[in-house]
Amino acid sequence: MFDKLSFIESRYEELSKKVSDPDVIADQETWRKLCKEQSDITPIVEKYREYKSLKEKIEEAKELLSDNLDKDFKELVEEELAESKKGIADAENALKILLLPKDPNDDKNIIVEIRGGAGGDEAALFAGDLFRMYSMYAETKRWKVDILNSNPTDIGGFKEISFSIEGQGAYSCLKFESGVHRVQRIPTTESGGRIHTSTVTVAVLPEVEEVEVEINANDLRIDVFRAGGPGGQCVNTTDSAVRVTHLPTGLVVSCQDEKSQHKNKDKAMKILRSRLYDLMQEQQHEEIAQERKSQVGTGDRSERIRTYNFPQGRVTDHRIGFTLHRLEAVLNGDLTELIDALITTRQSELLKGQD
């Protein structure tokens, strides 16, 4: 591990010189790539330097303790030595985590697709609640949310909604949200006060560039039609809605939120690229036994991952057995504790896999 850390530190110093070189700065594309590489390894180098500093403090303390010291000074040195040893252990653990293989999609923007499942209108209402939850979480991170396509219901909520979230690390934070979300509550329409159980499916897909997924134009069927549902003046009076079918896979994407047919087509293609990329990744993961065994993956679409219980005011993530009794805060976008627990569990699994 330390040979690798030494190499990374040398590379960091090399990059520091390059990004300050006027010739490199003149080539903006190369300069940006080098800056990103430097940014990616900066946390590793900082932690490694902290580790080396602690090692030096330990050696200095040991040398001092070999001399004849008065009682008070000796106690002070022993206390500093104990703190440095604890710091070394913490730094080593942090370095192991920082050196774990990084998900290549972690820095990408995402496309989130939410669909009402079992429960009819109540499921649609909860789909709306989840959209609001993710939007409010994105707001706390200063990420941008853009609705790509939606199918709202008359009573509120959505039968389905697709939206993009643009921001640094969006996929790394929300990739574990894919799966079935279950809600247990008394619907506002229920006169008997009985608790109903409904489900909503969430898919979190990394947004991909055209160069990452090649789509043959001959493999597409593109239909245009008149948008339905609430949309105001122009949306319902022109053939602005677009449906794109990818013939080899049977994937279908419809977009109708924009008044422009061209904009709807662009959004549909963005969703299609991400779905195809996700399909490719899923096929690759199926070939890796360890991925199938992992407790926390990027989310099987049919797996029930979380329950939101209103009568008890709790949220439980079933994959890691983690419960919070702060339902209202979570639905208002306070997802940090849940996300941190999932990430920590995933890191622990990866560390065990390296033992």
Digit-coded pLDDT (tens) for 65-109 = 877 778 888 888 888 899 899 999 889 888 888 888 788 888 889
Please say if the pLDDT value at position 217 is more than 70: yes
The pLDDT assigned to 210 comes to: 65
The pLDDT assigned to 232 comes to: 42
Which range (42-46, 162-166, 167-171, 222-226) has the least confidence? 222-226
Cα Rg of the chain, angstroms? 26
Ordered by start, the domain boundaries in the chain are 2-98, 110-211+290-354, 217-284
Q: What is the mean pLDDT of residues 41-45?
A: 90
The pLDDT assigned to 126 comes to: 93
- Identify the burial level of 338 via C-beta atoms within 10 angstroms of its C-beta, where 0-12 means exposed, 13-18 middle and 19 or more buried: buried
Per-residue pLDDT band for 287 (boundaries 50, 70, 90) equals low
Task: Determine what percent of the chain is predicted with pLDDT higher than 70.
Answer: 88
Q: How far apart are CA 158 and CA 271, in angstroms?
A: 18
Highest mean pLDDT among 192-206, 221-235, 307-321: 307-321
Mean pLDDT, the chain, rounded, equals 85
β-pair partners for 253: 244
Q: How many CB atoms lie within 10 A of CB 163?
A: 21
Per-residue pLDDT band for 285 (boundaries 50, 70, 90) equals low
Highest mean pLDDT among 85-99, 145-159, 168-182, 278-292: 168-182
Cα 108 versus chain centre, distance? 9
Please say if the pLDDT value at position 134 is more than 90: yes
Token output for 177: 């949200």
- Identify the burial level of 211 via C-beta atoms within 10 angstroms of its C-beta, where 0-12 means exposed, 13-18 middle and 19 or more buried: exposed
Query: In whole angstroms, how far apart are CA 104 and each of 112, 326, 353?
Result: 18, 33, 19
Per-residue pLDDT band for 237 (boundaries 50, 70, 90) equals low
The pLDDT assigned to 218 comes to: 85
Per-residue pLDDT band for 299 (boundaries 50, 70, 90) equals very low
The pLDDT assigned to 214 comes to: 76
Please say if the pLDDT value at position 251 is more than 60: yes
Q: What is the mean pLDDT of residues 23-50?
A: 90
The pLDDT assigned to 288 comes to: 45
Task: Determine what percent of the chain is predicted with pLDDT higher than 90.
Answer: 39
Per-residue pLDDT band for 229 (boundaries 50, 70, 90) equals low
What values do phi and psi take at 315, rounded to 5? Answer: -125, 130
**Buried residues in 248-267 as b, exposed as e (16+ CB within 10 A):** eeeeebbbbbbbebeebbeb
In one-letter notation, the amino acid at residue 334 is D
The pLDDT assigned to 192 comes to: 66
Judge if pTM exceeds 0.75: no
Stronger pLDDT, 134 or 304, i.e. the higher one: 134
The pLDDT assigned to 234 comes to: 45
Q: What is the mean pLDDT of residues 303-309?
A: 91
Query: What DSSP designation does 2 have?
Result: H
Q: What angle do CA 211, 217, 220 make, to 5 degrees?
A: 115
- pLDDT (tens digit per residue) in 184-207: 998 876 666 788 899 999 999 988
The dihedral built from the CA positions of residue 17, 19, 21 and 23, taken in this order, carries a sign that is positive
Q: What is the mean pLDDT of residues 110-139?
A: 92
Domain 110-211+290-354 fold = Alpha-Beta Plaits (3.30.70)
What values do phi and psi take at 25, rounded to 5? Answer: -60, -35
The percent helix, strand, coil of the chain (3-state, each to 5) is 50, 20, 30
The CATH class of 217-284 is alpha beta
DSSP string, 162-204: EEEEESTTHHHHHGGG-EEEEEEE--TT-TT---EEEEEEEEE
Q: How far apart are CA 176 and CA 256, in angstroms?
A: 28
Identical fold for domains 110-211+290-354 and 217-284, yes or no, is no
Highest mean pLDDT among 40-54, 280-294, 329-343: 329-343
Per-residue pLDDT band for 211 (boundaries 50, 70, 90) equals low
Stronger pLDDT, 21 or 189, i.e. the higher one: 21
The pLDDT assigned to 236 comes to: 52
Q: How far apart are CA 157 and CA 197, in angstroms?
A: 16
Q: What is the mean pLDDT of residues 257-268?
A: 83
Q: How far apart are CA 180 and CA 315, in angstroms?
A: 14
Query: In whole angstroms, how far apart are CA 280 and each of 94, 175, 274, 332?
Result: 32, 16, 10, 34
